[in-house]
Structure formats: C-alpha cells, structure tokens
Structure 1
C-alpha cells in the first residue's frame, strides 16, 4: 500500500511548516480529497526522513490553518467542505475547468494567499479600532498609520518611499486612472512604449486623451524616437514600465533612464512610472522617482505580490501635486475603503507575507526556466523572476490564428493586439503568463501544447 508523501522542495522555512504548506497545496490541487485520512505520523516521518515530532507539529499547523481535523484514536483527516452560505451563492465556478488560462498576469497560486486573507479578516473582526475604521470616513489620502505601514513594507521590498508622499489607491489601475484624469485635460498627449499595458490605454481613452506609441527595443524606449516626438509635439506625460515592460519584459537601461529624465525636464513632461509588475530589488534599475522626484509619479500595487482581489495600491507623488490628486480621489470615491487597507496592512506585517514572496520569487524563476528550456530555439522576451514570457513567432506564423488553435487545445494566451498603442502594427507574438498556471505541471502541459502548435503549418484556413 502506498501513502501520500509530499515534496517539500518548493516550500521554504522550517520542515514542519513545509509539511503543513504541502498539505494545503495538495488539498488545493485535489491530490488530497475531503475526508481523506493523512498518513500515520510515524510512517510519514520515515518516508520524509524527519522526526515524528516534526510531522506532529506540521499536522498541528495544518489544523490551525483549517485544512485538516484530528480525531482522537482515528488519525488526521482532510476537512469536509463547509455548508454553502450566502457568500457562496455569489460565487460562480469557472466552467472552463479544462482550460489552462495563461492570458492574465497573475501571481502563482498558493494556499497561503487564502489563509493569510482569512487570518486578516479574523484579526480585523476582533479589533475594535479596525471595525470602527471600517464604518468611518477617513482622509482621501488614507490614514497616516496605513501609509506609514505601507511605506515600511515597500522599504523592505527595496523601494524607499516617504509616507508623506503617498496616496492609498484601489490598486495600480486606479492609480493610473487617477493621475490621467486629474493632471491632464481632454485632448492632451501621452507618450508610452508602442506596446504597453492595456489598462493604461483604456484609462487614456476614458479620459479622452491622445496617445502616441514610441519605438522601443530590448533596452526599453528609444530616446531618439521620443526626442523626435517631443520636437514635434511634447507629451504632457510619459508613461513607462521601466523594469519590466508589459508585455515584452524589456528593461529600460540606466543610460536611457538618465536620457528620459533629461527630456522630461527639457520639455516639462510628467513621468508616470508603473512598478506593479514586481521584480526583486537586485533586478530593478534606478527608480525614476529617485532620478526626477519633482516630476515623477510612481504606481505600485499589492496585486502581483499578495492578491489581486485586495485592490490596494499606493501612488507616490511630488508634494506639489498631493492636494490636487487627493481632491481627484475624493471626487471619484471619497476614499479607499479602510476595510481593505486594514486587511492589506495586517497581511504585510505577518512573517508569512515575506515567506510567500520568497516562495513566489523562486517559483517564477523555476517556471521561467521551464519555458526557456521547452521553447529553446524560439525568440523569448523575459525577466528572470518575471511573470510573463513574450514569444516572437517564426516567420509566416500569425498570432491570432495560433491563439485560436491553442484555445481549441485548451490553452489561452494573449496576442499583441490589446497592447498596441494607436496605429502601432501588431507584431506576430504572444504573451504567456506563466504565473497564472495552477502549478508547474499545468504550465509544462500548456507549453507542450504551444510547442506542438508552433511546429504545425500556418493556420490560414482554420475557423472557430
């Protein structure tokens, strides 16, 4: 008889905690079913080469998280799902359960995300001050304590920001929209990479702004092309994702950062720096908000490091714009709901937040390696710990047709069209969001399908 034996290699920290986390991951992946009995502690200890006490502590940790329940004299069992409540009635399960969706840039799933969120909700419900804030009106910029907590967390991530320069936003997208709608007037011009984040394109359209795409290469936006545009019509604002272009992964070189700042000063343009696509500090360049603090607005969010559903971010702004942007936020929603800010601030204060981010960094590096090895011979744009891979298709292949064939095979990716600014022609390439896969096995399966489709003849006649 075989027993379930977890692999602890993907989990950092003490062995007992790795055992608990592996139990949660196995439950999420369906490897352990509700009601299933976990292996006897001594047998699992022998299989893993650890002490019985380590397994006992790991089981206790899993029970603390609510994943299992211990029955005296019987063993430890995976918990049965709770009865449906009014909260469950609002949830609709995804009907595309057989589809591996790599079209959205998401952090890799981990049971700690759900547990950390649950723990934060519980802690808030037991805190009178947090409950009071949750039903109160606060300053549009956010509570001072919240801003200080977020600034301290960002400093741990290698981003030195002053709490007095921050506004709390409802995520990175809200920060971008707030800047464009508050600082620019309809008809004014924005310059950005010719391929850029679709949310920025949508925000510019909503604000009735003009947008021009600037040519770029593996070192980021081409300064000669930007300078030529400035000579014709200076943009009121330049939007950039300097450390990891979305979708291509291109990083703006240090020399070009200096040139960009010089051009922005010469032509009096605001700089909007998007840092939402998280990378470790050693892989990031010098922030524009350090090179040109007087004209740089910086957007960051918890979406790619904690959870997208939090909808909590920060906007760093020059002091001269603080009141203006606070008034703009107040006009839009009065404030960011303090309930969600409290949850985010509690979460980032827990040691599990750092453990989760360390795991995510290693996991994305491993996933990047999988894609690089499987698609060797193809042209890939990527960052070592980035969540996306940009695949340039072979001569004669069409991205739209490839996306159709992949979807028929149960894999979803993005073509270049949503990222094109203005009349920029769409290159024949696709974005593969490696973080969105449930695990490495699902990613490997999806990339295998992509590789098979790439090897087939062009799909001029396929219809859907």
Structure 2
C-alpha cells in the first residue's frame, strides 16, 4: 500500500474536490503509479483532519474522472492506462512483440508482398519513362496510362469502371477526405450506418460536418429510418460500405440498394460507396455506382489486396464532378506521387499479384472457419471471406473492460466506441481482425484467449 499523502493547502475549493485534484496531479506527475492502492479512507481522513465522508466523496470524484477504480473489499486503486477511444490506424509490424494485434483490418501477412514490392521497385528504378514521370509534374487525376492500367486491373477484380471517370488518390482514406472536403460545406449533414469505418468519421470531423447514424440490421441500413431522416433533414451525402459493413460485416440487401438509390434521387443526395474491404466478386452485390452512376462516388485502394504502404487509391466519380475533385486534389497535394503509382502498376502486372490474391482469398476463408469453430456458441457477424468478425458479448460482459483484460493477456482487439456515429450508443461488442495475425497458429492462440476471457466473471462495480 502506498504512503502517498496529498497537500491540500494550495488547492482552492471544497476539500473533497481538492483531494480528487491532488490525486489527478499525483498520477500525472508519476507520484502515483498505475495499480497503486490509495490510503484507506479513514486513515487519510485522520491524517488530513477531515471527515471520512469528505475522503469518500474525493475518491468518488477521482473515479468519476477516470483516474482510479474502487474494488469491493479491497480498496481504491490508480487505474491502469485506458484503451484509446479513438482509432489508431498506424502499426509497425514487430516480430518480437508479445501482443497479438487483432485491432486493425489488415491483409494476412505473406512473404510474397515484400518480394513483389522489391521486384516492382527494381523495375521502376531502371525504367526511363518511370524515372521521367517521377521527377515531373503530372495531371492531378493521374496519367492516362496509369488510369487505363488500373481500369484493366479493376475489371479483373470484377469492378468494371471507365478510365475517364477515375482519379488516382493517395489511398482510400484520401479519397474519402477529398470527396467530403470538395462536395460538402462545413456544417452540412452526412449520414452513415450507425456503426461505420472510423476513418470516415474522422474525415467528417476534419471537414467540420454534422454526422448522423442510421440504424441497420442483418439486411443493412434501414431504409425506413433513412427515409424518416430525409423527411426531417435530408443529408447532403450518404457514406456506405454496402458489401461489408465495417465493423459488423453486414451486407446491404439488393432490395435496399434499389431503395437507397430511389431515396438519393428523390432528395438529391450524393452516395459515397466504399469498396476498400475486398471480397470475391461472387460475394458482392450490384455496385451502387452502376445503379446510380450520376450521383455515386466509389472508393477503392490497393491496401487490402496488395499492401497498405503503397497508398494508391482509385476514386470513381460522375463526369460533372471530375474537374471539381481534380481541383481539390491539386489544392491538397497537386498530384499523387507518380513513382508510387508506377510501383503499384508494375506490381499488379506481375503474376505474383494474382497468386497473392488467390492465396489471400483462401486464407481468409480458412481463418473465418477457424474462428467460427473456436468461438462457437457466441453471436458472431461476419462474411465467409472477410477479414473481420463482430462478436456480440454475453450479458454482463463489458467491452472496454474485456479489451483491457485481453490486452494484459497479450491480445489486442477493438471495442465499438471508435465505430459509433454521432450519439449512437456503443453496443457491448468487439471487432476481431482475423487477417492481422501472422499465421493461423497465432490466430488460434488469440481466439482461445478471447474465449477464455469471455468465461471470466466481470468486475463487480461499487456504488459510492
């Protein structure tokens, strides 16, 4: 037990608040370390010359601020560092880490990625045309040759597009931000599934947009809820991942795709369709950009099929928007560095690109089967070839507490908070990214840890 004793003389206000303030200051200064036990309330009251009730209120105030946690029959302890409520999208792979990180939606690791990248770099470094492009200013939309080659590749992936309708972006996230900053003004309303990709939420915040979450079920976004929202205040744009909601994996039904298009036309709403989370063509529905080409913008990237580090994305847009979007891109970065576009284009022309995608498709299916077996008996939402699993927790199990317990056990997953749009309450669920594990053995170990943690009783809260 710590012998820490606060100095209250210089802290103004009621004594209980001064005690809470002193606790916070001591934690910030490192005087009180995570996991340390605070002095018993009666002992601290006697030492400070205040009532036990004053100390009790002070500890309760500190707990309300998230600095300490009370444990029944044990005492009050400095809280361990909380998991971030925001979504950290950066991760440097580390073979010597003791934590199996299943918090980020990544393609399964394979040596072929580094090999193909190395070959592409070597080829570009000896190509006079690529070297010339690398030191030149190009059109903001990207060179016509690059767009033609990317169009052919997308057609192979089952995404038929027209080269003249494309812009090359610095990844899918850049495409989302470019659309929001170009088409919407600060304060305008953007709608999305009540749970959606955190990058879209962040982009909307950066663009100073209002955001509303639309309820959804196993058939995707509720068209009744969306129509009710349109009757109150139509959104200027709807962001949606129709084939595979992130984080839940829910697919928008064919009927609702047609209803969505009809509503968008009736209320003159832009549709931003995100197809970055790759699925085989037979598991995808009809694209919105085919149902409503005049008002749909489509985002795709190399991140989930080649490598995230390439930062090469494709944005499909109606012809009437191309010049506005090109102007917006030019204002942000003038153009996407042609060197990286050349690397990506050379990579997708290699047989290794097809080999890698075929392996990845089979690998994710095997991992989904593995996860379903280990977590049988629990409520899961996923796609058979998707990279994520949405796990609804049993009654009494709290997601943030489970995430913290799992992290201490060497497994990192995501709670629902980063995916919540606007005032959407966070469900008690976690997202498990099965593609992020280095192999099936590591995934199996992590899933077993998750299953074991689900059987542990939750910490009992204390009422002060």
Q: Give TM class, smaller chain.
A: 0.7 to 0.9
Q: Secondary structure at the match of 2:435?
A: helix
Structure 1 CA distance for aligned equivalents of residues 168 and 274 of structure 2: 15
- Could you tell me how far 1:321 is from its partner in structure 2? 0.2
**Which aligned pairs between 1:226-375 and structure 2 lie closer than 5 A?**
226-375=226-375
Q: Structure 2 length as normaliser, TM-score?
A: 0.79
Structure 2 CA distance for aligned equivalents of residues 418 and 426 of structure 1: 9
**Which aligned pairs between 1:53-452 and structure 2 lie closer than 5 A?**
94=94, 97-452=97-452
Q: Secondary structure at the match of 1:442?
A: helix
1:438–1:341: structure 2 CA closer, same or farther, 3 Å change rule? same
- Could you tell me how far 1:460 is from its partner in structure 2? 3.9
Q: Secondary structure at the match of 1:229?
A: helix
Question: Given that residues 247 and 431 in structure 1 are in contact (C-alpha distance below 8 angstroms), is that contact kept between their aligned partners in structure 2?
Answer: yes
Question: Given that residues 402 and 459 in structure 1 are in contact (C-alpha distance below 8 angstroms), is that contact kept between their aligned partners in structure 2?
Answer: no
Q: Secondary structure at the match of 2:365?
A: helix
Question: Given that residues 401 and 460 in structure 1 are in contact (C-alpha distance below 8 angstroms), is that contact kept between their aligned partners in structure 2?
Answer: no
1:461–1:97: structure 2 CA closer, same or farther, 3 Å change rule? farther
1:443–1:395: structure 2 CA closer, same or farther, 3 Å change rule? same
Task: Write the deviation string for residues 188-242 of structure 1: whole angstroms up to 9, x where unpaired.
Answer: 0001000000000000000000000000011100000000000000000000000
- Name the residue aligned to 2:55: none
1:166–1:208: structure 2 CA closer, same or farther, 3 Å change rule? same
- Could you tell me how far 1:461 is from its partner in structure 2? 6.2
Structure 1 CA distance for aligned equivalents of residues 95 and 264 of structure 2: 48
Corresponding residue pairs, total: 372
Structure 2 CA distance for aligned equivalents of residues 92 and 329 of structure 1: 28
- Could you tell me how far 1:350 is from its partner in structure 2? 0.7
Structure 2 CA distance for aligned equivalents of residues 361 and 165 of structure 1: 28
Structure 1 CA distance for aligned equivalents of residues 282 and 194 of structure 2: 27
1:237–1:92: structure 2 CA closer, same or farther, 3 Å change rule? closer
Structure 2 CA distance for aligned equivalents of residues 408 and 161 of structure 1: 46
- Name the residue aligned to 1:50: none
- Could you tell me how far 1:92 is from its partner in structure 2? 7.8
Structure 2 CA distance for aligned equivalents of residues 381 and 189 of structure 1: 29
Gaps of 5+ in 2: 1-90
- Name the residue aligned to 1:31: none
- Could you tell me how far 1:95 is from its partner in structure 2? 8.8
1:317–1:443: structure 2 CA closer, same or farther, 3 Å change rule? same
- Could you tell me how far 1:365 is from its partner in structure 2? 0.1
Structure 1 CA distance for aligned equivalents of residues 438 and 318 of structure 2: 40
Structure 1 CA distance for aligned equivalents of residues 460 and 207 of structure 2: 38
- Could you tell me how far 1:320 is from its partner in structure 2? 0.4
Structure 1 CA distance for aligned equivalents of residues 93 and 272 of structure 2: 37
Structure 1 CA distance for aligned equivalents of residues 234 and 125 of structure 2: 51
1:96–1:460: structure 2 CA closer, same or farther, 3 Å change rule? farther
- Could you tell me how far 1:93 is from its partner in structure 2? 7.3
**Which aligned pairs between 1:19-34 and structure 2 lie closer than 5 A?**
none
- Could you tell me how far 1:458 is from its partner in structure 2? 1.1
- Could you tell me how far 1:94 is from its partner in structure 2? 4.1
Structure 1 CA distance for aligned equivalents of residues 404 and 95 of structure 2: 19
1:448–1:92: structure 2 CA closer, same or farther, 3 Å change rule? closer
Structure 2 CA distance for aligned equivalents of residues 378 and 417 of structure 1: 21
- Select the structure of larger CA radius of gyration: 2
Q: Secondary structure at the match of 2:271?
A: strand
Q: Secondary structure at the match of 2:272?
A: strand
Q: Secondary structure at the match of 1:436?
A: coil
- Name the residue aligned to 1:458: 458
- Could you tell me how far 1:149 is from its partner in structure 2? 0.4
Question: Given that residues 236 and 269 in structure 1 are in contact (C-alpha distance below 8 angstroms), is that contact kept between their aligned partners in structure 2?
Answer: yes
Question: Given that residues 242 and 252 in structure 1 are in contact (C-alpha distance below 8 angstroms), is that contact kept between their aligned partners in structure 2?
Answer: yes
Q: Secondary structure at the match of 1:357?
A: helix
Task: Write the deviation string for residues 42-80 of structure 1: whole angstroms up to 9, x where unpaired.
Answer: xxxxxxxxxxxxxxxxxxxxxxxxxxxxxxxxxxxxxxx
- Could you tell me how far 1:459 is from its partner in structure 2? 2.9
- Name the residue aligned to 1:77: none
Structure 2 CA distance for aligned equivalents of residues 337 and 157 of structure 1: 24
Gaps of 5+ in 1: 1-90
Question: Given that residues 171 and 302 in structure 1 are in contact (C-alpha distance below 8 angstroms), is that contact kept between their aligned partners in structure 2?
Answer: yes
1:443–1:258: structure 2 CA closer, same or farther, 3 Å change rule? same
Q: Structure 1 length as normaliser, TM-score?
A: 0.79
Deviation >6 Å, runs of 4+: none
